[in-house]
Amino acid sequence: MESLEKMYIDGQWVSALAGKTRNIINPADGCVIATVVEGAAEDAQLAVAAAKRAFYEDGWMETPPVERARLMFALADALEQRTDKFAKLETLNNGKALREAECDVGDAAACFRYYAGLATKPHGQTYDVVDPMQTLVVREPIGVCGQIVPWNYPLLMAAWKLGPALAAGNTVIFKPSELTPLTAIKLFELIEAVGYPKGVANLVLGAGNTVGQEIAKNYDIDKVAFTGGTTTGRSIMMAATGNIKNISLELGGKSPNIIFADADFEAAVDWTLFAIFINQGEVCSAGSRLLIEESIHDEFIERLVERTKKIKVGPGLEEGVEMGPLISETHMNRVLDYVELGKKEGAKLMCGGQRILGDGLEKGYFVEPAIFTNTTPDMRIVQEEIFGPVLVVQKFKDEKEAIALANNTIYGLAGGVFTQDGAKGLRVIKKLRAGITWINAYNPTYNEAPWGGYKQSGIGRELGTFGFEEYTEVKQININLDPSPIGWFKN
Ligand code: NDP
């Protein structure tokens, strides 16, 4: 990368008004990999002014859907053509294994394609109401949208946010995590290259408590969309009350992965590893609570521990690595603190949970994947989102207890059930208070299907037609086909 990476505001690559910069770190070795400009509230305000002008005055709001689709298809193609470059950069900045980063780039391009296609599809309704009236219902873009994303899927979250917003005709101020801005910067270079008009898509770099808060509270922003922790989500929600912003929140989880004794044993073990340890466990939907039917508990844990110990942890760019470092030293320490807490609370650590200091990994933020058994529902490690490679196991006797334990959480993002009894699988899933669920699988995500949570896991849905609708206002248009006087008042 070049020596100083800038932000993209109103079609220009600019420095921060205050002249500040920030070093970006490779979590695999703690080295500086780039220096980026560090914006603040006043930079965000410039972006908001540009987005407002682009929407209301420059005509983006009236751009034909076919043109919005053309630009987004071009963006998807440009991104896909650079898969290697983007994947390597994502791994360098976030730490994840390269094969995961490659999937993320493919998924991001597919997400842009999905929304490019959706831009031109029918979105309205018509009703014959009372003769001679005809009612049309149309969907219109909301206006200026602020979007704030976390560090766990930097590029993919950018696609999930920018795809539906731009396809629906909004203008955008996008803020990546201060820790992981690099692929977003490269994505905005492509946004510029494919020809999005100036001011339509703006990239503001900076911290959550400055740029993020400005986005949440700015009165000229009509909608704020956020992915991240529940505590941050709550503060964004409060800041957004000033002008009654439309909000979408995709927050944390402590999602149950329920294994019944009649499940395909090896398949369930395999998916359980995928449920919790993909992306170092830094996944909002992670199956971070494993609920196992009592009769297979010991055998299942034995096999799971055996396989967990074989997960190859190392720098994501290294051949054969299956799990990378955690995102930062601060976050690593937070995860390690949870491991200590789990031991103090009386849970049994079956494997892992230590920082990895040998094999040349001592400068990175590597943690061995960990599994806790002998938990009780009230333990903090069972209730709180750890957001790392730490699995907590809970035992259940029957279906009823499984459901009760599964729902015993403030969260409601995701959940999975493994059983060979199809009716039981569906019965249990229907009782789960969660928005994203799987039967005999865990984690696969599809652009077509809505993504989001119940309870404190969020508000609204991303992806699918639901995600598109989140970026639209609904207007009714009532047309009198026989425009004669109504005659209500007699004189
Ligand atoms: P945050 O939720 O704090 O960060 C997510 C995004 O929000 C980042 O862009 C961040 O900016 C921004 N942000 C932070 N504070 C504010 C604010 N006051 N107003 C507006 N925007 C803000 O995640 P953390 O990195 O602090 O992680 C904390 C915990 O949150 C994790 O350990 C995990 O439990 C959870 N989390 C959940 C995620 C999910 O997908 N559900 C994703 C990430 C974290 P910046 O980083 O630039 O400061």
CA-closest residue to ligand 1 atom 30: 229
Distance in Å, CA 154 to ligand 1 centroid: 12
Q: Does residue 1 register a pLDDT over 80? A: no
Q: Please report the pLDDT score of residue 3 as a whole number.
A: 74
Q: Which two tokens stand for residue 21?
A: 């910069």
Tens-digit pLDDT profile for residues 254-300: 999 999 999 999 999 999 999 999 999 999 999 999 999 999 999 99
Distance in Å, CA 29 to ligand 1 centroid: 22
330 lines ligand 1 (CB under 6 A): no
279 lines ligand 1 (CB under 6 A): no
Question: How much is the mean pLDDT over the chain?
Answer: 97
Based on the residue annotation, tell me whether 31 is a catalytic residue of this protein. Answer: no
Distance in Å, CA 237 to ligand 1 centroid: 13
Tens-digit pLDDT profile for residues 14-53: 999 999 999 999 999 999 999 999 999 999 999 999 999 9
Distance in Å, CA 229 to ligand 1 centroid: 5
Tens-digit pLDDT profile for residues 166-213: 999 999 999 999 999 999 999 999 999 999 999 999 999 999 999 999
Q: Which of 104, 157, 177 to mutate to test the pocket of ligand 1 (most atoms within 8 A of CB)?
A: 177
Q: Which residue has the tokens 């801005």?
A: 181
Tens-digit pLDDT profile for residues 242-252: 999 999 999 99
The phi and psi torsions of 289 (rounded to 5 degrees) equal -120, 120
Nearest-CA neighbor of 199 among 308, 50, 16? 50
Torsion-angle region of residue 53: left (phi > 0), alpha (psi -120 to 50) or beta?
A: alpha
255 lines ligand 1 (CB under 6 A): no
252 lines ligand 1 (CB under 6 A): yes
Instruction: List strands edge to edge, sheet with 348-351.
Output: 348-351, 370-373, 390-396, 289-293, 256-259, 414-418, 436-439
Based on the residue annotation, tell me whether 189 is a catalytic residue of this protein. Answer: no
Q: Which of 148, 161, 204 to mutate to test the pocket of ligand 1 (most atoms within 8 A of CB)?
A: 148
208 lines ligand 1 (CB under 6 A): yes
Q: Is the pTM of this model over 0.75?
A: yes
229 lines ligand 1 (CB under 6 A): yes
